[in-house]
Protein backbone atom coordinates (compact mmCIF):
# COMPACT_ATOMS: atom_id res chain seq x y z
CA UNK A 1 0.00 0.00 0.00
CA UNK A 2 2.28 2.74 -1.29
CA UNK A 3 -0.07 5.73 -1.26
CA UNK A 4 -1.01 6.38 2.39
CA UNK A 5 -1.70 10.14 2.36
CA UNK A 6 -5.21 10.90 3.59
CA UNK A 7 -5.83 7.26 4.50
CA UNK A 8 -7.54 6.36 7.78
CA UNK A 9 -5.83 4.16 10.37
CA UNK A 10 -7.50 2.60 13.42
CA UNK A 11 -4.77 1.95 15.99
CA UNK A 12 -5.43 0.19 19.29
CA UNK A 13 -3.35 0.84 22.40
CA UNK A 14 -2.41 4.12 20.73
CA UNK A 15 -2.42 6.36 23.80
CA UNK A 16 1.07 5.24 24.86
CA UNK A 17 4.37 3.76 23.74
CA UNK A 18 4.55 1.97 20.41
CA UNK A 19 0.91 2.58 19.43
CA UNK A 20 1.40 6.29 19.98
CA UNK A 21 4.65 6.15 17.99
CA UNK A 22 2.80 4.46 15.13
CA UNK A 23 0.06 7.12 15.24
CA UNK A 24 2.71 9.87 15.14
CA UNK A 25 4.52 8.26 12.21
CA UNK A 26 1.18 7.99 10.40
CA UNK A 27 0.46 11.66 11.20
CA UNK A 28 3.84 12.66 9.73
CA UNK A 29 2.84 10.83 6.54
CA UNK A 30 -0.45 12.76 6.21
CA UNK A 31 -2.71 9.98 7.47
CA UNK A 32 -5.76 10.26 9.72
CA UNK A 33 -5.33 8.44 13.03
CA UNK A 34 -7.96 6.94 15.30
CA UNK A 35 -6.40 6.59 18.74
CA UNK A 36 -8.28 3.71 20.37
CA UNK A 37 -7.31 2.88 23.93
CA UNK A 38 -8.91 1.72 27.16
CA UNK A 39 -7.35 4.56 29.18
CA UNK A 40 -9.43 7.66 28.41
CA UNK A 41 -7.19 10.01 30.42
CA UNK A 42 -4.17 8.85 28.39
CA UNK A 43 -6.06 9.51 25.14
CA UNK A 44 -6.89 13.04 26.31
CA UNK A 45 -3.22 13.66 27.10
CA UNK A 46 -1.92 12.70 23.65
CA UNK A 47 -4.56 14.24 21.37
CA UNK A 48 -3.12 17.82 21.60
CA UNK A 49 0.20 16.61 20.10
CA UNK A 50 -1.66 15.80 16.88
CA UNK A 51 -3.92 18.85 16.96
CA UNK A 52 -0.96 21.23 17.41
CA UNK A 53 0.55 19.85 14.20
CA UNK A 54 -2.71 19.93 12.27
CA UNK A 55 -2.72 16.12 11.95
CA UNK A 56 -6.25 14.67 11.77
CA UNK A 57 -6.90 12.63 14.91
CA UNK A 58 -9.84 11.17 16.80
CA UNK A 59 -9.74 9.45 20.19
CA UNK A 60 -12.06 6.59 21.14
CA UNK A 61 -12.13 4.82 24.49
CA UNK A 62 -12.23 1.10 23.68
CA UNK A 63 -11.55 -2.12 25.49
CA UNK A 64 -10.46 -4.46 22.69
CA UNK A 65 -11.95 -7.43 24.58
CA UNK A 66 -15.46 -5.91 24.35
CA UNK A 67 -16.84 -7.06 21.01
CA UNK A 68 -19.97 -4.91 21.02
CA UNK A 69 -17.98 -1.81 21.98
CA UNK A 70 -15.58 -2.61 19.13
CA UNK A 71 -18.43 -2.43 16.59
CA UNK A 72 -19.54 0.91 18.06
CA UNK A 73 -15.94 2.20 17.91
CA UNK A 74 -15.61 1.20 14.24
CA UNK A 75 -18.94 2.92 13.45
CA UNK A 76 -17.72 6.06 15.24
CA UNK A 77 -14.40 6.05 13.36
CA UNK A 78 -16.23 5.76 10.04
CA UNK A 79 -18.63 8.55 10.98
CA UNK A 80 -15.69 10.85 11.78
CA UNK A 81 -13.22 9.99 9.02
CA UNK A 82 -15.05 7.79 6.49
CA UNK A 83 -13.58 4.52 5.25
CA UNK A 84 -10.95 2.79 7.42
CA UNK A 85 -7.94 1.59 5.39
CA UNK A 86 -5.46 0.40 8.00
CA UNK A 87 -6.03 -1.56 11.21
CA UNK A 88 -3.19 -1.75 13.72
CA UNK A 89 -3.93 -4.27 16.47
CA UNK A 90 -1.37 -3.02 18.94
CA UNK A 91 -3.04 -3.03 22.40
CA UNK A 92 -1.29 -5.50 24.66
CA UNK A 93 -0.50 -6.36 28.24
CA UNK A 94 2.02 -8.40 30.18
CA UNK A 95 1.58 -10.46 33.37
CA UNK A 96 4.12 -11.10 36.13
CA UNK A 97 6.91 -13.59 35.45
CA UNK A 98 6.21 -17.12 36.66
CA UNK A 99 7.01 -20.76 36.07
CA UNK A 100 4.42 -22.07 33.60
CA UNK A 101 2.78 -24.32 36.20
CA UNK A 102 2.48 -21.43 38.66
CA UNK A 103 0.76 -18.92 36.35
CA UNK A 104 -2.56 -17.97 37.98
CA UNK A 105 -5.60 -18.73 35.81
CA UNK A 106 -6.59 -15.05 36.16
CA UNK A 107 -3.36 -14.05 34.43
CA UNK A 108 -3.80 -16.70 31.73
CA UNK A 109 -7.31 -15.46 30.94
CA UNK A 110 -6.46 -11.75 31.15
CA UNK A 111 -3.48 -11.81 28.79
CA UNK A 112 -5.14 -14.22 26.35
CA UNK A 113 -8.25 -12.03 26.20
CA UNK A 114 -6.29 -8.85 25.48
CA UNK A 115 -3.24 -9.98 23.52
CA UNK A 116 -4.78 -12.68 21.37
CA UNK A 117 -8.55 -12.46 21.36
CA UNK A 118 -8.37 -8.64 21.26
CA UNK A 119 -6.48 -8.92 17.95
CA UNK A 120 -9.08 -11.34 16.58
CA UNK A 121 -11.85 -8.97 17.66
CA UNK A 122 -10.15 -6.17 15.71
CA UNK A 123 -9.83 -8.27 12.57
CA UNK A 124 -13.39 -9.56 12.91
CA UNK A 125 -14.83 -6.07 13.32
CA UNK A 126 -12.77 -3.96 10.94
CA UNK A 127 -11.31 -6.12 8.17
CA UNK A 128 -14.72 -6.90 6.54
CA UNK A 129 -15.31 -3.13 6.34
CA UNK A 130 -11.94 -2.64 4.58
CA UNK A 131 -12.65 -5.49 2.15
CA UNK A 132 -16.15 -4.14 1.50
CA UNK A 133 -15.09 -0.66 0.37
CA UNK A 134 -12.56 -2.23 -1.98
CA UNK A 135 -9.77 0.38 -1.66
CA UNK A 136 -6.24 -0.68 -0.74
CA UNK A 137 -5.80 -1.60 2.90
CA UNK A 138 -3.57 -3.27 5.44
CA UNK A 139 -3.75 -5.05 8.79
CA UNK A 140 -0.78 -4.98 11.17
CA UNK A 141 -0.78 -6.78 14.49
CA UNK A 142 1.85 -6.09 17.11
CA UNK A 143 3.37 -9.39 18.20
CA UNK A 144 6.90 -9.29 19.59
CA UNK A 145 10.37 -10.68 19.07
CA UNK A 146 9.40 -12.73 22.17
CA UNK A 147 6.90 -14.59 19.99
CA UNK A 148 9.85 -15.78 17.90
CA UNK A 149 12.68 -16.27 20.44
CA UNK A 150 11.24 -16.70 23.92
CA UNK A 151 12.07 -14.78 27.08
CA UNK A 152 12.39 -17.15 30.10
CA UNK A 153 9.61 -16.89 32.73
CA UNK A 154 7.23 -15.00 30.41
CA UNK A 155 5.34 -17.98 28.96
CA UNK A 156 2.00 -16.29 28.47
CA UNK A 157 3.52 -13.21 26.88
CA UNK A 158 5.68 -15.35 24.56
CA UNK A 159 2.76 -17.65 23.70
CA UNK A 160 0.19 -14.96 22.96
CA UNK A 161 2.72 -13.17 20.75
CA UNK A 162 3.60 -16.41 18.92
CA UNK A 163 -0.14 -16.93 18.39
CA UNK A 164 -0.40 -13.49 16.78
CA UNK A 165 2.40 -14.36 14.35
CA UNK A 166 0.64 -17.58 13.29
CA UNK A 167 -2.61 -15.65 13.00
CA UNK A 168 -1.10 -12.97 10.76
CA UNK A 169 0.66 -15.54 8.56
CA UNK A 170 -2.67 -17.31 8.08
CA UNK A 171 -4.43 -14.00 7.46
CA UNK A 172 -1.83 -13.22 4.77
CA UNK A 173 -2.82 -16.49 3.06
CA UNK A 174 -6.52 -15.64 3.33
CA UNK A 175 -5.90 -12.17 1.85
CA UNK A 176 -3.88 -13.36 -1.17
CA UNK A 177 -5.45 -12.02 -4.35
CA UNK A 178 -6.99 -9.02 -2.55
CA UNK A 179 -5.59 -5.50 -2.26
CA UNK A 180 -5.32 -5.80 1.52
CA UNK A 181 -2.00 -6.80 3.10
CA UNK A 182 -1.16 -8.36 6.45
CA UNK A 183 1.93 -7.96 8.63
CA UNK A 184 3.13 -9.37 11.93
CA UNK A 185 5.03 -6.60 13.71
CA UNK A 186 7.65 -8.16 15.99
CA UNK A 187 9.47 -5.38 17.81
CA UNK A 188 12.50 -5.79 20.02
CA UNK A 189 12.91 -3.45 23.01
CA UNK A 190 11.14 -0.13 22.41
CA UNK A 191 10.41 2.67 24.90
CA UNK A 192 6.96 1.99 26.34
CA UNK A 193 5.03 1.66 29.58
CA UNK A 194 3.75 -1.90 29.42
CA UNK A 195 4.48 -2.82 33.02
CA UNK A 196 2.54 0.14 34.43
CA UNK A 197 -0.29 0.21 31.92
CA UNK A 198 -0.83 -3.56 32.32
CA UNK A 199 -1.46 -3.08 36.03
CA UNK A 200 -3.80 -0.16 35.34
CA UNK A 201 -5.65 -2.06 32.62
CA UNK A 202 -5.98 -5.23 34.71
CA UNK A 203 -7.50 -3.18 37.54
CA UNK A 204 -9.85 -1.43 35.08
CA UNK A 205 -10.92 -4.84 33.73
CA UNK A 206 -11.67 -6.02 37.26
CA UNK A 207 -8.89 -8.59 37.46
CA UNK A 208 -8.61 -9.96 40.98
CA UNK A 209 -5.06 -11.08 41.55
CA UNK A 210 -4.09 -13.05 44.63
CA UNK A 211 -0.53 -12.09 43.94
CA UNK A 212 -0.48 -8.66 42.33
CA UNK A 213 3.21 -8.26 43.08
CA UNK A 214 5.32 -6.62 40.38
CA UNK A 215 7.38 -9.01 38.29
CA UNK A 216 10.93 -9.67 39.50
CA UNK A 217 13.68 -7.57 37.92
CA UNK A 218 14.55 -8.70 34.43
CA UNK A 219 17.87 -10.27 33.61
CA UNK A 220 18.94 -7.31 31.54
CA UNK A 221 21.04 -4.87 33.59
CA UNK A 222 21.02 -1.16 32.72
CA UNK A 223 19.38 -0.58 29.35
CA UNK A 224 20.67 2.97 29.04
CA UNK A 225 19.42 4.71 25.95
CA UNK A 226 19.35 1.52 23.89
CA UNK A 227 15.56 1.31 23.75
CA UNK A 228 14.24 2.33 20.34
CA UNK A 229 12.17 5.50 20.07
CA UNK A 230 8.50 4.52 19.46
CA UNK A 231 8.23 6.96 16.53
CA UNK A 232 11.18 5.20 14.92
CA UNK A 233 9.31 1.91 15.47
CA UNK A 234 6.20 3.54 13.97
CA UNK A 235 8.13 4.59 10.87
CA UNK A 236 9.29 1.01 10.45
CA UNK A 237 5.67 -0.14 10.66
CA UNK A 238 4.67 2.38 7.99
CA UNK A 239 7.52 1.26 5.77
CA UNK A 240 6.40 -2.37 6.25
CA UNK A 241 2.86 -1.44 5.19
CA UNK A 242 4.20 0.36 2.11
CA UNK A 243 6.44 -2.61 1.22
CA UNK A 244 3.69 -5.16 2.02
CA UNK A 245 6.10 -6.98 4.34
CA UNK A 246 4.81 -10.14 6.01
CA UNK A 247 7.14 -9.53 8.96
CA UNK A 248 8.11 -6.14 10.35
CA UNK A 249 11.18 -6.50 12.55
CA UNK A 250 13.06 -3.72 14.32
CA UNK A 251 16.45 -5.05 15.43
CA UNK A 252 19.06 -6.90 13.36
CA UNK A 253 20.62 -7.94 16.70
CA UNK A 254 18.13 -10.83 16.82
CA UNK A 255 19.44 -12.44 13.63
CA UNK A 256 21.87 -14.61 15.57
CA UNK A 257 19.32 -16.17 17.94
CA UNK A 258 16.88 -16.64 15.05
CA UNK A 259 19.54 -18.38 12.95
CA UNK A 260 20.18 -20.69 15.90
CA UNK A 261 16.46 -21.37 16.36
CA UNK A 262 15.81 -22.02 12.64
CA UNK A 263 18.89 -24.25 12.40
CA UNK A 264 17.78 -26.20 15.50
CA UNK A 265 14.40 -26.80 13.86
CA UNK A 266 15.97 -27.86 10.57
CA UNK A 267 18.23 -30.30 12.43
CA UNK A 268 15.13 -31.80 14.09
CA UNK A 269 13.71 -33.03 10.77
CA UNK A 270 14.76 -36.65 10.22
CA UNK A 271 17.80 -36.93 7.99
CA UNK A 272 16.06 -39.06 5.34
CA UNK A 273 15.08 -38.63 1.68
CA UNK A 274 12.00 -36.58 0.77
CA UNK A 275 9.01 -38.32 -0.84
CA UNK A 276 8.17 -36.20 -3.90
CA UNK A 277 4.65 -37.62 -4.20
CA UNK A 278 3.96 -36.68 -0.57
CA UNK A 279 5.24 -33.15 -1.32
CA UNK A 280 2.81 -32.88 -4.26
CA UNK A 281 -0.23 -34.43 -2.58
CA UNK A 282 0.19 -32.44 0.61
CA UNK A 283 1.27 -29.21 -1.08
CA UNK A 284 -1.23 -27.30 1.10
CA UNK A 285 1.13 -28.21 3.95
CA UNK A 286 4.50 -28.24 2.23
CA UNK A 287 4.30 -25.12 0.00
CA UNK A 288 3.34 -21.60 1.00
CA UNK A 289 4.01 -18.61 -1.28
CA UNK A 290 3.60 -16.05 1.53
CA UNK A 291 7.11 -16.85 2.76
CA UNK A 292 8.68 -16.26 -0.68
CA UNK A 293 7.12 -12.80 -0.88
CA UNK A 294 9.15 -11.35 2.03
CA UNK A 295 12.09 -9.50 0.48
CA UNK A 296 15.20 -8.11 2.21
CA UNK A 297 14.44 -4.98 4.22
CA UNK A 298 17.07 -2.26 3.74
CA UNK A 299 18.50 -0.02 6.48
CA UNK A 300 16.23 2.95 7.29
CA UNK A 301 16.56 5.82 4.84
CA UNK A 302 14.89 8.58 6.88
CA UNK A 303 17.80 9.72 9.07
N1 LIG B 1 7.85 -1.90 24.32
C2 LIG B 1 8.44 -3.01 23.91
O3 LIG B 1 9.65 -3.20 24.08
C4 LIG B 1 7.64 -4.05 23.16
C5 LIG B 1 8.35 -5.06 22.50
C6 LIG B 1 7.63 -6.01 21.81
C7 LIG B 1 6.24 -5.94 21.73
N8 LIG B 1 5.59 -4.95 22.38
C9 LIG B 1 4.12 -4.89 22.23
O10 LIG B 1 3.79 -3.60 21.75
C11 LIG B 1 2.48 -3.24 22.17
C12 LIG B 1 2.55 -1.89 22.86
O13 LIG B 1 3.42 -1.98 23.96
P14 LIG B 1 4.07 -0.69 24.63
O15 LIG B 1 5.39 -1.08 25.14
O16 LIG B 1 3.93 0.45 23.73
O17 LIG B 1 3.12 -0.54 25.91
P18 LIG B 1 2.34 0.70 26.49
O19 LIG B 1 1.90 0.25 27.83
O20 LIG B 1 3.14 1.92 26.40
O21 LIG B 1 1.06 0.81 25.53
C22 LIG B 1 0.05 -0.18 25.53
C23 LIG B 1 -1.28 0.51 25.40
O24 LIG B 1 -2.30 -0.50 25.21
C25 LIG B 1 -3.44 -0.11 25.96
N26 LIG B 1 -4.27 -1.26 26.26
C27 LIG B 1 -3.96 -2.33 27.03
N28 LIG B 1 -5.00 -3.17 27.12
C29 LIG B 1 -6.00 -2.63 26.38
C30 LIG B 1 -7.31 -3.04 26.07
N31 LIG B 1 -7.84 -4.15 26.61
N32 LIG B 1 -8.05 -2.27 25.23
C33 LIG B 1 -7.52 -1.14 24.72
N34 LIG B 1 -6.31 -0.69 25.00
C35 LIG B 1 -5.55 -1.42 25.82
C36 LIG B 1 -2.88 0.54 27.21
O37 LIG B 1 -3.83 1.38 27.83
C38 LIG B 1 -1.67 1.29 26.67
O39 LIG B 1 -2.00 2.62 26.35
C40 LIG B 1 2.02 -4.36 23.08
O41 LIG B 1 1.23 -5.26 22.33
C42 LIG B 1 3.32 -5.03 23.51
O43 LIG B 1 3.13 -6.37 23.86
C44 LIG B 1 6.26 -4.00 23.12
Higher pLDDT, residue 222 or 179? 179
Ligand 1 centroid distance, CA of 114 (Å): 10
Ligand 1 centroid distance, CA of 43 (Å): 13
- pLDDT band of residue 302 (cuts 50, 70, 90) is confident
Q: What is the mean pLDDT of the chain?
A: 95
- Predicted confidence (pLDDT) at residue 72 exceeds the cutoff of 70: yes
User: Domain spans of the chain?
Assistant: 8-292
Contact 4, 234 (CB under 8 A): no
Q: What is the pLDDT of residues 3-34, one digit of tens each?
A: 999 999 999 999 999 999 999 999 999 999 99
pLDDT value for 286: 96
Q: What is the pLDDT of residues 224-244, one digit of tens each?
A: 689 999 999 999 999 999 999
Q: What is the pLDDT of residues 169-217, one digit of tens each?
A: 999 999 999 999 999 999 999 999 999 999 999 999 998 765 555 555 5
129-149 average pLDDT score: 98
pLDDT value for 212: 52
Contact 216, 176 (CB under 8 A): no
Angstrom distance (rounded) from CA 269 to CA 266: 6
Per annotation, catalytic residue among 157, 247, 269, 291: 157
Q: Could you tell me which residues come within 8 angstroms of residue 297 by beta carbon, excluding any fewer than 6 positions away?
A: 239, 240, 243, 245, 249
Closest CA to 62 of 84, 92, 38: 38
Which residues does a 6 A CB cutoff place in the pocket of ligand 1?
Answer: 12-13, 15-19, 37-39, 42, 62-65, 90-93, 114, 118, 142, 144, 187, 189-190, 192-194, 197, 201
pLDDT value for 149: 98
CATH 3.40.50.150, domain 8-292, yes or no:
no
The pTM is what?
Answer: 0.96
- Residue 291 bears catalytic tag: no
pLDDT value for 225: 81
Ligand 1 centroid distance, CA of 128 (Å): 24
Phi first, then psi: what are they for 111, rounded to 5°? Answer: -70, -30
Closest CA to 179 of 139, 130, 125, 137: 137
Contact 97, 153 (CB under 8 A): yes
pLDDT value for 175: 98
Amino acid sequence: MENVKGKVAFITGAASGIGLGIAKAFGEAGMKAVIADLRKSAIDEVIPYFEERGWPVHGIQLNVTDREAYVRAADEAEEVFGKIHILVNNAGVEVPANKVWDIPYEDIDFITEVNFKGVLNGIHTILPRILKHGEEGHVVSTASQSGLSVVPAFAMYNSTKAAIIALMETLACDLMGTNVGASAFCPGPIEGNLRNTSKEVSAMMGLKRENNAPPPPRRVPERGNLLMDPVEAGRRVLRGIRRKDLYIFTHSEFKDVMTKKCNAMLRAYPDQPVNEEFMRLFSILTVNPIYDMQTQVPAPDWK
